[in-house]
Structure 1
Amino acid sequence: MGHPGLPPRARAGVGVNELDALAETVREIVEKEPDPWPVLCEVGVAALAIPERYGGADAGLPELQAVAAELGLAAVPFLGSSVLATSVLLESGDEDACARLLPPLAGGAIGSVAWTGPDGGWTADVACRTGGSTVDGHAHYVLDGDLADVLLVLAREDGGIGLYEVDTANAHRVHTPGMDETRRLAEIRFTGAPASRIGAGDFSPALARARDTACAVLAAEQAGAAAKALAMTVDYTKHRHQFGRPIGSFQALKHRMADLHVLVETARSAANAAGESELLAHVAKAYCAEAFSAVAAEMIQLHGGIAITWEHDAHRYFKRAHSSAALFGSPDEHLAWLTGHL
């Protein structure tokens, strides 16, 4: 397809140049390809977080964040499959399950995690239950759940939470259109579905770590999308004229865009720090969600009437901002967690 492969990763740790090259590759693909996911898989994006022994690139959180920051509004299963499902499998510590399921995910198969109920709590209060060999329940907001090739289910059991694999043929899956049409969600019902246990013991601590990873990557996505939305808005104000001059030359609008720039840069810093601790993952998720929502709202205001036309992307950024704010817990929920732990 004419796209370069991903840059080699330095064994002593990823460097700035490698991350820049990765970001440039992803940006080029997203901008030029109508359906970017197959091409992203060709260059190794789906395999980033997967260890080499399972056919992956053995990369880390900085690489995942570099990809997420460039995706913009791309309708790809990166967050749900390459981040969340992959993290859940790796956290399970189940060598046999990882050896069987991670190589297909590295090649571009889609993995989904059936987790939360209708309240979208994304906590240890999971939507399904198990009797040991079967799963019952109704999971909501399953990322790419109706398209998944690998279906992982979190289920309540005696002593905590268990991680299970369920054949997609034994699950009733329905696509659920949401506010953000570029983030595909599904509802999945399980009625006595045969299930195979992955890993041993209570999965709750591992689930918390997997959610921290997903929050850190989502924060980078939100910061990156906010930056793109701001860049589009600044460009528009340079070309939209009123009273014989670009509206971007008006001092009031300069101040507003300067404030947005501060929000975006602070969001980037928060996202970059998210991998350092559980606390900072919560900080990043709360701050980046609110920053993206603020930028998207100003994007609508500063574009005027054109922003709410179907042909313009402004309304899509607005919808992505508000829908992603609720994913893996709302800002209020993360702030409440911080209040209770500080």
Structure 2
Amino acid sequence: MDAAFTEEQDQIRRTVRELLRERCDTDAVKAAVRTAPGHDTALWRLLARQLGLSGLALPEEYGGAGCGAVEQALVCEEVGRALLPSPLLATAVLGAPLIARLGAGAQRTALLPGIAAGELTAALAVPGGALPEALGLTGAPAETAGGARNGWAGGGRAGGVQARHDAGTGWRLYGQVDQVLDGHSAGVLLVAARTGGYTRGRTLLFVVPGDAAGLTRTRLTALDETRPQARIELRNVVAEPLGEDPGRAAAGTANGDANGAANGDADGAAARVADGLVHLGATAAAHLAAEAVGVADAALTRTVAYVREREQFGRPVGSFQAVKHRLADVYVKVQAARSAAYYAAWATGGTADPDGREDREAAVAGGLALAQALEAQRAAAAEAVQLHGGLGFTWEHDAHLAFKRAASDELLFGPVHRLRARAAERGGLFGARPAAVAAQAAAVAV
């Protein structure tokens, strides 16, 4: 790994940082989150259309810049530093890579150019708050003794979203998803839904236009207002699977056999969805880690500046040895997290070996980097609140923007101990599970 950034990468960092310094101070952040979209639409158009951030890592054939995970991580760090409320995470980190990897040719052609041009935003809707599990960050995709995969998406009879195939009208979705990042404003939704009922259930991803009939979207009150969340309700919503349609094999069969035929062909599609989400998890973890590093570094910088000015007992608070030690500890955490985040981003750029060794290494590096970054973010935010004194404890203080982000991120993408446990499992730290234990886990999953 070459730890030095290229001239082009440094230019990307400087450009984004300077623009956000001018257009996204804390007052602008607080104003943006109170708008209906939850972000400054003019600033997003500037970032997406003129700087091309929404399509930075997309292939050039679809209008993207063709950059890699490291360039995307640089952008995410600067976005985190400014605590920018924007659709960047939902669209460029989660939604667009899934479409590029799993989408059929017509879907990629229809959706990716709009995303790259900043004209379309996307959101990933995973039921039950199971996003980190679906991405393989905190658990393996469930695989039951009956062959059902992706149990994180909920049961086939109740909960989550169910998909039913009809030979005449195609796929229709029913159900509800909470905590969908930027789901209230996204132009297209990627919805995880179960097919085939309870015993032979499979999970597929479906493409749902933001203006689809029967779709209701409600913005939720969230702890961290800079990450808008929504509730998605689907009532007989027409949708198409992301990728090849497993329901096509059911065309021409009797209505009573249509669901069974579609469910049989869903086995391969479900496996592709599971693999695609886990592959996405490695890069998403690296980018989330870089974003958390940006939040932590900005919080630390503001705190250091404050303790140099604030006086107590006739001297700056920052001159006390105990305060120096506390901030030095945070500095070490932030620097370690930054190194881990960029190593994880670099690791995802390799080509996997036939046995998937490099994919596993990237997944392990991503999970550990995210755990390290979330801890650094939490420590920096906590010290910012404490060392700002009584003023820092007021809910309206700027330090609480970082504090809310730290608490929210651990709820959305953690917890830290599960990220590390999954990384240890993926890396084989504790060895392979005995066959009896694996069989017992499969029986419990049923």
- Whether these two folds match at TM > 0.5 is yes
Q: How many angstroms apart in 2 are the aligned matches of 1:122 and 1:144?
A: 19
Q: Is the CA contact (8 Å cut-off) linking 1:282 and 1:338 kept in structure 2? A: yes
Give the Å deviation of 1:142: 0.8
Give the Å deviation of 1:339: 3.7
Give the Å deviation of 1:336: 2.5
Q: Establish whether residue 143 from structure 1 lines up as the match of residue 150 from structure 2.
A: no
Q: How many angstroms apart in 1 are the aligned matches of 2:62 and 2:336?
A: 36
Q: What SS does the corresponding residue of 1:50 show, helix, strand or coil?
A: coil
Aligned twin of 1:112: 123
Q: What SS does the corresponding residue of 2:20 show, helix, strand or coil?
A: helix
Aligned twin of 1:128: 161
Q: Establish whether residue 66 from structure 1 lines up as the match of residue 77 from structure 2.
A: no
Aligned twin of 1:248: 318
Structure 1 stretch displaced more, 328-337 or 285-294? 328-337
Give the Å deviation of 1:39: 1.6
Q: Is the CA contact (8 Å cut-off) linking 2:129 and 2:412 kept in structure 1? A: no
Q: Is the CA contact (8 Å cut-off) linking 2:363 and 2:423 kept in structure 1? A: no
Give the Å deviation of 1:208: 1.0
Aligned twin of 2:12: 22
Q: Is the CA contact (8 Å cut-off) linking 1:49 and 1:86 kept in structure 2? A: no
> Would the alpha carbon gap of residues 186 and 323 (structure 1) be closer, same or farther in structure 2, given more than 3 Å must change?
same
Q: How many angstroms apart in 2 are the aligned matches of 1:197 and 1:120?
A: 19
Q: Is the CA contact (8 Å cut-off) linking 2:193 and 2:206 kept in structure 1? A: yes
4+ residue stretches of structure 1 with deviation over 6 A? none
Q: Which structure has the larger Rg?
A: 2
Give the Å deviation of 1:176: 0.7
Give the Å deviation of 1:267: 0.5
> Residue type of the partner of 2:216?
H
> Residue type of the partner of 2:386?
Q
Q: How many angstroms apart in 2 are the aligned matches of 1:246 and 1:252?
A: 13
Query: Larger RCO: Structure 1 or Structure 2 (Cα < 8 Å, ≥ 6 residues apart)?
Result: 2
Q: What SS does the corresponding residue of 2:413 show, helix, strand or coil?
A: coil
Q: How many angstroms apart in 2 are the aligned matches of 1:110 and 1:168?
A: 10
Aligned twin of 2:253: none
Q: How many angstroms apart in 2 are the aligned matches of 1:67 and 1:267?
A: 16
Q: How many angstroms apart in 1 are the aligned matches of 2:298 and 2:381?
A: 10
Q: Is the CA contact (8 Å cut-off) linking 1:220 and 1:271 kept in structure 2? A: yes
> Residue type of the partner of 1:177?
T
Q: How many angstroms apart in 1 are the aligned matches of 2:13 and 2:391?
A: 30
Structure 1 stretch displaced more, 90-99 or 34-43? 34-43
Give the superposed CA RMSD: 1.8
Q: How many angstroms apart in 2 are the aligned matches of 1:257 and 1:238?
A: 12
Q: Is the CA contact (8 Å cut-off) linking 1:274 and 1:280 kept in structure 2? A: yes
Q: What SS does the corresponding residue of 2:222 show, helix, strand or coil?
A: coil
Of 5, 8, 21 in structure 2, the residue corresponding to residue 31 of structure 1 is 21
> Residue type of the partner of 1:233?
T
Q: Is the CA contact (8 Å cut-off) linking 1:129 and 1:155 kept in structure 2? A: yes
Give the Å deviation of 1:153: 1.0
Matching of residues 189-338 of structure 1 within 5 Å: 189-200=233-244, 201-202=269-270, 203-275=273-345, 276=347, 277-338=362-423
Q: Establish whether residue 80 from structure 1 lines up as the match of residue 165 from structure 2.
A: no
> Residue type of the partner of 2:286?
A
> Residue type of the partner of 1:32?
E
Give the Å deviation of 1:134: 1.0
Of 146, 153, 158 in structure 1, the residue corresponding to residue 191 of structure 2 is 153
> Residue type of the partner of 1:290?
E
Q: Is the CA contact (8 Å cut-off) linking 2:281 and 2:363 kept in structure 1? A: no
Q: Deviations over 1:183-208 (max 9, x none)?
A: 11111011221111121322111011
Q: What SS does the corresponding residue of 1:264 show, helix, strand or coil?
A: helix
Unaligned residue ranges in structure 1 (runs of 5+):
1-13
Aligned twin of 1:180: 224
Q: What SS does the corresponding residue of 2:128 show, helix, strand or coil?
A: coil
Q: How many angstroms apart in 1 are the aligned matches of 2:343 and 2:16?
A: 22
Q: What SS does the corresponding residue of 2:184 show, helix, strand or coil?
A: coil
Q: How many angstroms apart in 2 are the aligned matches of 1:198 and 1:112?
A: 13
Give the Å deviation of 1:93: 4.4
Give the Å deviation of 1:160: 3.2
Q: Deviations over 1:58-79 (max 9, x none)?
A: 1111111101101131111111
Aligned twin of 1:55: 63
Q: Establish whether residue 102 from structure 1 lines up as the match of residue 112 from structure 2.
A: yes
Give the Å deviation of 1:114: 0.9
Structure 1 stretch displaced more, 220-229 or 195-204? 195-204
Q: Is the CA contact (8 Å cut-off) linking 2:182 and 2:230 kept in structure 1? A: yes
Q: Is the CA contact (8 Å cut-off) linking 1:120 and 1:141 kept in structure 2? A: no
Q: Is the CA contact (8 Å cut-off) linking 1:120 and 1:329 kept in structure 2? A: no
Q: Is the CA contact (8 Å cut-off) linking 2:77 and 2:292 kept in structure 1? A: yes
TM score, norm. by length of structure 2: 0.71
> Would the alpha carbon gap of residues 272 and 119 (structure 1) be closer, same or farther in structure 2, given more than 3 Å must change?
closer
> Would the alpha carbon gap of residues 67 and 121 (structure 1) be closer, same or farther in structure 2, given more than 3 Å must change?
closer
Q: Is the CA contact (8 Å cut-off) linking 1:289 and 1:321 kept in structure 2? A: yes
